[in-house]
Amino acid sequence: MAIIPNNHMTTNFEDKLKIGKYSFKSRLIVGTGKYPDFVTMQKAIELSGAEIITVAIRRIDFEQKENMLSFIDQDKYTLLPNTAGCFTAEDAVSTIRLSRELGIFKTDLVKLEVIGDPKTLYPDNEELLKAAKILVNEGFTVMPYIIDDPIVAKKLEDIGCPVVMPLASPIGSGLGIRNPYNLKIIKETVSIPVIVDAGVGTASDAAKTMELGVDGILMNTAIAGATDPLNMALAMNYAVKAGRLAFLSGRIPMKLYASASTQMEGIVF
Amino acid sequence: MLIYVNDKEINLNENLTIAQLIDSLNLNIKSTAAAVNKEIVPKAKYAEFILKDKDRLDLVTIAPGG
């Protein structure tokens, strides 16, 4: 399996991201928002190496001449509808049901977010749990966006969500991981995959996040909002893979003092 | 009759179905979902669902998002 595009390095292990009955080679999920145009979006998605891409469900804009769908190869990418902008369980559930009527999604994967506050875009746990229960019962594979709270993560696992998606920091903030310890606790608390959704600002954030041992990252603004979104998409592609490989490879322990990498034996002077 | 499509007032002939309206707006029915007065209408019903005066129709599709 080629780990990095245009690079000779290969590894011989299969390392797939499993979400319910689905499995993916890429551990990076990308959003489609905030791009200057659909062509840039399309190229950035390709360079990111992502296989799952998130989309919103919105009223048709009759002024919009271009059809977003024509820029997405659905044989190559899994489209993940989201409930962005929903503030109640009822609205989120209706949005997902409406998305199902579109008839364009090839999987039952849905990204569930129920926002509790417009300033922080933090989720409303109570409404989120309510919506997750309903959607899981209706047969959807629910991927909930959560605050970095191990308790709510466990509750969602118990409800039947096959993944939880805690934030690293607020959506679009680019602050990176504000509480790596909570992400580690969540990873230890649940036995389902943990995908960090939101907060990554740059490639080092992505690598550090993956080095914590989480299973994947979902990001949008960090790529779309970069000065050069295409190269940032590639940087994130590398960073997620590098972080994952570093995690699997087992980093050296940190020590206070030096440990010579050159042997002393045989020294002349 | 007058109906609201995505909050825009539109004057229509009587007995128009959702499918006919989608067609008249040059939209692709394959990538359009509809709700009438906030009630989701299954796509299989678009061809028989007749719009009434003052109905509020929401037509949705995918949009950029994270």
Contact B61 A58 (CB under 8 A): yes
Of the CATH numbers 3.30.70.360, 1.10.730.10, 3.30.950.10, 3.10.20.30, which one belongs to the domain with range B2-61?
3.10.20.30
Record the pTM. 0.92
Cβ-count burial A189-215 (b if 16+ within 10 Å, e if not): bbebbbbbbbbbbebebbbbbbbbebb
In the predicted model, what is the mean pLDDT of residues A73-100?
97
pLDDT tens for B16-53 read: 999 999 999 999 999 999 999 999 999 999 999 999 99
Q: In 3D, which of A13, A45, A4 has the Cα closest to residue A28?
A: A45
* Mean predicted lDDT score pLDDT of chain A: 94
| A98 near B CB under 8 A | yes
The three-point CA angle A81-A230-A244 to 5° equals: 70
Contact of A75 with chain B, judged by CB distance below 8 Å, is answered with: no
Give the model confidence (pLDDT) of A76-87 as tens digits.
999 999 999 999
Q: According to the model, what pLDDT value does residue A235 have?
A: 98
A111 is catalytic: yes
Q: How many helices (H) and strands (E) does chain B have?
A: 1, 5
Note whether B63 contacts A57, CB cutoff 8 Å.
yes
> Is A32 close to B65, i.e. CB distance below 8 A?
yes
Structural domain boundaries in chain B: 2-61
Classify residue A25 by its DSSP letter: S
